[in-house]
Chain A
């Protein structure tokens, strides 16, 4: 863990070498998702609600997912850009150092400019939370935090899976974006608005349901029984990372026997 922060500080230093570009990018990141959010706003202005979800309920969901995604993009960028490491041969260097591949890939990149996006999603989250007519309790706040954490784990898992794909092929990595960016776009809305099979896929295979729809039911008092079960669903999202790490190790093993 200490090493992780060392990596972070050296890359922050590096990024600060290009200070102007850093501020410009962060600023841009602040406004880019704002336009997406504006789209959501106008949609609801026109239609009032979608399948019983009103604007602020969806905005809460939007805020949680975007917060998780921007944090993941900031800290797990190394896996997002992993194909570069393989192409340039720098992954060999990682294998030459006496630390786990996971921490080294994690430490190979940080994208601090995502701070802008994070700020924006926090704003949306706070706005939504204060405008919803719900009584906030300690458990609800914990659940909300768990949702963000769980979201980070799920996105991290997806990034790792996408990176693992690089051990088999460098081309066609765009496919993985269906699950990273596509998954994010989907998960910005409560899953119950989608067709059943889509909702199922994103609950049981990639457990986005565990970070938006199910715990939201609890927070918004829409669940009428087994409340605590709903509350604990974000933990399932965290478990998602375990098989991802196993698959990663298989990928590394393959790399070391093929050398490409």
Chain B
């Protein structure tokens, strides 16, 4: 049985309509007009234990509504959601004991006191047995390299340090599922890589299921073996990244450095199906190639007849572009 089972989830919000002008504002004091926003429309998916799922979609697509429902904060209008045999919003207290949630934009630590004090309070809130607590804490301190910052007040930490502390805080009580909402937002490259490495480690070693929402596609590329794309309240795509690539785009960018001899090379390669020239100079050629490898081989063989090829590099289409294309395709 899957760990998370969601089917036919609906949620509609009423949003008060505001209109400009004093008169309108006064009017709205007495009778307000509401717009209905359908945040979720028939959302269904399942997640198995130990998966890392990247949950992506543009702003306002329904990501955080889904996360809030799964974490028991929000009650949906309709539909089923069973997580580890529980309905999150009906058994809130038992449910939240076995999940961890990190919001990249907000802290769960107490701002003015050393990090360790926050951890100790969390131990009491979650009623973590002392032995589990000290084992977990030791492990987290060593893997996240917290030993030097654990006695510093949170407000004095850098964003990267704070995020490491946040991750530790959400794992102290041994959750089975970890929800990460933009965990790498605003971090420098080094911190990002450290955070990703850590997420992989706990997923592998503790078999913690990770649901990750992010706008940083390199997070997804580095971590998620499966992505869920949501747009306008519907699940648009559910599958792994490679499938997504092959389904929506097989485009590759090819950079060729060569030692030219003044001979115009454009003509040589024009007319090969699926090949477009992006730019061309005396020693560098950039091409975009659709389809499989045969066109590529053709290009190289024709070129090598007239120039000395120095270097060839092939890049897949950046995932950001791919996602953008997807968004456009579904008009979200």
Task: Give A residues with C-beta under 8 Å from B.
Answer: 2-3, 6-7, 10-11, 13-15, 17, 88-90, 92-93, 95-100, 256-260
A259 with B74: CB separation less than 8 A: yes
CB closest residue in chain A, given B97: A98
CB closest residue in chain A, given B170: A96
Is B237 an interface residue, CB under 8 A from the partner? no
Give residues 80-118 of B contacting A (CB, 8 Å).
Answer: 89, 92-94, 96-97, 99, 101, 103, 106, 108, 110-113, 117-118
Q: Which of A3, A11, A93, A96 has the most CB of B within 10 A?
A: A96
Is B126 an interface residue, CB under 8 A from the partner? yes
Q: How many angstroms from the CA of A60 to the CA of B106 in the assembled complex?
A: 47
Q: A258 contacts which chain B residues (CB < 8 A)? A: 13-14
Minimum C-beta distance from A249 to chain B (A): 12
Report which of B71, B72, B153 forms a contact with A17, defined as CB distance below 8 A: B153
Is B75 an interface residue, CB under 8 A from the partner? yes
Tally of A-B Cβ pairs under 8 angstroms: 69
A99 with B13: CB separation less than 8 A: no
Residues of A contacting B: mostly: helix
Minimum C-beta distance from B119 to chain A (A): 11
A-B contacts, 10 of them at CB < 8 A, read: A6-B121, A88-B106, A92-B73, A95-B73, A98-B94, A100-B93, A257-B74, A258-B13, A258-B14, A259-B74
Minimum C-beta distance from A197 to chain B (A): 27
Q: A256 contacts which chain B residues (CB < 8 A)? A: 73-75, 89
Q: B93 contacts which chain A residues (CB < 8 A)? A: 98-100
Task: Please provide the 9 A-B residue pairs with the shortest distance between their CB atoms, ordered closest to farther.
Answer: A14-B112, A98-B97, A98-B93, A95-B73, A257-B75, A6-B124, A17-B112, A259-B74, A98-B96
CB closest residue in chain B, given A108: B110
Minimum C-beta distance from A143 to chain B (A): 37
B96 with A97: CB separation less than 8 A: yes
Is B65 an interface residue, CB under 8 A from the partner? yes
Using A92-B73, A96-B96 as known contacts, say yes or no to A259 and B68 having CB atoms under 8 A apart.
yes
Report which of B13, B112, B126 forms a contact with A260, defined as CB distance below 8 A: B13
B124 with A2: CB separation less than 8 A: yes
Q: How many angstroms from the CA of A97 to the CA of B101 in the assembled complex?
A: 10
Chain B residues with a Cβ closer than 8 Å to the other chain, count: 33
Minimum C-beta distance from A210 to chain B (A): 35
B92 with A10: CB separation less than 8 A: no
Using A14-B111, A17-B153, A259-B13 as known contacts, say yes or no to A97 and B117 having CB atoms under 8 A apart.
no
Q: A13 contacts which chain B residues (CB < 8 A)? A: 112-113, 117
Q: How many angstroms from the CA of A28 to the CA of B20 in the assembled complex?
A: 43
A97 with B126: CB separation less than 8 A: yes
A14 with B113: CB separation less than 8 A: yes
A10 with B106: CB separation less than 8 A: no
Q: How many angstroms from the CA of A234 to the CA of B257 in the assembled complex?
A: 90
Is B125 an interface residue, CB under 8 A from the partner? yes
Encode B32-45 as 1/0 by CB contact (under 8 A) with A.
Answer: 00000000000000
Q: A90 contacts which chain B residues (CB < 8 A)? A: 106
Q: How many angstroms from the CA of A90 to the CA of B94 in the assembled complex?
A: 20
Q: How many angstroms from the CA of A259 to the CA of B71 in the assembled complex?
A: 13
Report which of B99, B101, B110, B125 forms a contact with A14, defined as CB distance below 8 A: B110
Q: How many angstroms from the CA of A2 to the CA of B124 in the assembled complex?
A: 9
Q: A3 contacts which chain B residues (CB < 8 A)? A: 124-125
Q: How many angstroms from the CA of A61 to the CA of B93 in the assembled complex?
A: 43
Q: How many angstroms from the CA of A259 to the CA of B77 in the assembled complex?
A: 12
Minimum C-beta distance from B37 to chain A (A): 11
CB closest residue in chain A, given B117: A10
Encode B1-43 as 1/0 by CB contact (under 8 A) with A.
Answer: 0000000000001100000000000000000000000000000
